[in-house]
Amino acid sequence: MTLSESATAPVDEVVLEAVGLTKHFPVRKRLRDLFSRTPAVVHAVDDVSFALHRGRVTALVGESGSGKSTVARLLAQIYPRTAGDIRLHGTSTRVRGGRPFRSYVRRVQLILQDPFASLNPVHTVRYHLTRSLRIHGNAGRSAEDLDKALANLLTRVSLAPPERYLDAFPHELSGGQRQRVAIARALGADPEVLLADEPVSMLDVSIRLGVLNLLQDLKERLNLAILYITHDIASARYFADETIVMYAGRLVEGGDSETVTQNPAHPYTRLLTESAPDPERITGDGAGAGIDEAAGKDRGQGEPPSLISPPAGCRFHPRCPHAMRRCTADVPPRLTVGDRPGHWTACWLYDPATVAADAPGSAAPDADPAVPPPPALVEREDAATLGEAR
């Protein structure tokens, strides 16, 4: 078999891309909906765009119900998309079963949250891995080839010696070992992309780091592009190169993980970081220590909105302590934050003209875009500077 250690492949190459990806689930009609012209749908994912790069981990962070798993399933082409595109090496792909699906899945593998559910309890580790190797044409020609490939897979995920695990049933393994088998099975396809949907959230806290370190190791050795889905923004800082944040079906912020987690720009990301204990941020050792100073002012209240009738404009506006008039009407575009290259947020607070037009006494719906930064931003910059100065 050929688990490709492609150390020479160009790093940063975009492998898989979501472009305006949208998924609306139809909702079962109630009597009163029969007379409605527009059928009710759950707006699970709306206009989501991002790229996965070879040899890099991208964390997709958001609270429960924000649409993260739907994004993973769309990228795995298990769900058909409502709109948008999925590009593999720049080529638009839409596969529905059969040979094209198998050939896509060989390159893009999904790892699920629950290793209990994803492994069949009546089959051994050998069965699961052999099946994956055979389906994806990596089992070799002889029994020796297959044995070598099986041993190689188990060694890759640090289940050694392989003979100790090959004939074990899932119930004879710990949660961490089961998740390693699930990862080995994904590697049996020799993929370019791993979509890891909350891969450690069902595991004991003490073994989570081991599995995350394994994914990190695979990223480096096999040059994999990894999407790491999590609701734990603190883990994104340590494990992911880039972080993108999702709220109620839309992406609200993105950038390198250090910047997004330590200097979050969007009020929702700030809320997430406040509720995630991060020792460095709390003790003030990190560059973003000032965020905690501002936390009291910045706490968004309330619950995520209904995705059947999501709020107009910015979906976070009903919870946002800084919401302005425009936030209730217009969907914010991606705006550059300006502190680090590539840091963006979909928040009107980063559009000086909008902030100026919203200022008390302002009668200017089309204010001069050259106005100085809005008070909310000046305040945040002060807070960040305070943190750095300590």
Ligand X SMILES: Nc1ncnc2c1ncn2[C@@H]1O[C@H](COP(=O)(O)OP(=O)(O)OP(=O)(O)O)[C@@H](O)[C@H]1O
Instruction: Please state, in angstroms and rounded to a whole number, the distance separating the CA atoms of residues 129 and 187.
Output: 9
* Residue 273 near residue 253 (C-beta atoms within 8 A): no
Name the segment binding ligand X (CB under 6 A); options: 9-17, 58-66, 357-365, 371-379: 58-66
Nearer to ligand X, 66 or 177 (CB): 66
Question: Is the CB of residue 26 less than 8 Å from the CB of residue 39?
Answer: yes
CB of 230 to ligand X, least distance (A): 9
Region of 66-74, 144-152, 280-288, 292-300 interacting with ligand X (CB under 6 A): 66-74
Query: Which of residues 13, 19, 25, 232 is near ligand X by CB under 6 A?
Result: 25
Asked if 118 is part of the footprint of ligand X (rule: CB under 6 A), the reply reads no
CA angle 50-56-62, nearest 5°?
A: 50
> Which of 8, 38, 64, 301 is close enough to bind ligand X by CB under 6 A?
64
Burial tier of 301 (Cβ tally within 10 Å: 0-12, 13-18, 19+): exposed
Of residues 289 through 308, those in contact with ligand X by CB under 6 A are 307
Q: Is 108 in the site for ligand X (CB under 6 A)?
A: no
Say which amino acid occupies 212. L
Instruction: Identify the residue among 1, 16, 57, 67 touching ligand X (CB under 6 A).
Output: 67
Choose the binding region for ligand X from 46-54, 57-65, 140-148, 207-215 (rule: CB under 6 A).
57-65
Q: Residue 337 gets which letter from DSSP?
A: -
Give the range of 61-69, 99-107, 210-218, 350-358 binding ligand X by CB under 6 A: 61-69
Integer Cα distance of 217 and 237 in angstroms: 16
CA-to-CA distance for 78 and 101, rounded, in angstroms?
A: 9
Binding ligand X by CB under 6 A: which of 68, 319, 326, 380?
A: 68
For residue 214, the minimal CB distance to ligand X (Å) is 22
- Binding ligand X (rule: CB under 6 A), the pick from 66, 124, 223, 235 is 66
Please identify, using beta-carbon distances, which residue of 272 and 384 lies nearer to ligand X. 272
Name the one range near ligand X by CB under 6 A: 62-70, 286-294, 339-347, 371-379: 62-70
Under the criterion CB under 6 A, does residue 238 sit at the interface with ligand X? no
Alpha helix ranges (H) inside the chain: 68-75, 98-107, 115-118, 125-135, 143-156, 162-166, 175-187, 205-222, 233-239, 257-262, 267-275, 279-283, 290-298, 352-358, 375-389
Could you give the CA distance from residue 322 to residue 186 in angstroms, rounded to a whole number? Answer: 44
Interface of this chain with ligand X, residues 325 to 354, rule: CB under 6 A? none
- Binding of ligand X by 110 (CB under 6 A): no
Task: Round to whole Å and give the CA distance between 185 and 266.
Answer: 38
The verdict on 264 binding ligand X (CB under 6 A) reads no
Tell me: does residue 236 bind ligand X (CB under 6 A). no
**Kindly report the CA angle at 79 between 75 and 84, in degrees rounded to 5?**
60
Among 17, 53, 56, 70, binds ligand X (CB under 6 A): 70
**Residue carrying structure tokens 């997430």:** 272
Could you give the 3-state DSSP secondary structure of residue 179?
A: helix
**Judged by CB under 6 A, how many residues of this single chain contact ligand X?**
13
The answer to whether residue 315 forms part of the interface with ligand X (CB under 6 A) is: no
Q: Tokens in use for 304?
A: 């995520």
The verdict on 42 binding ligand X (CB under 6 A) reads yes
**In contact, 250 and 307? CB cutoff 8 Å:** no
Work out whether 136 is an interface residue with ligand X (CB under 6 A). no
**Residue at token pair 């020796």:** 144
Structure tokens at 125: 């580790």
Q: How far is the CB of 276 from ligand X (least distance, A)?
A: 15
Least distance to ligand X, CB of residue 308, Å: 9
Here the tokens at position 134 are 């055979």
Judged by CB under 6 A, the residue of 55, 62, 115, 387 near ligand X is: 62
Binding site for ligand X (CB under 6 A): 25, 42, 44, 62, 64-70, 231, 307
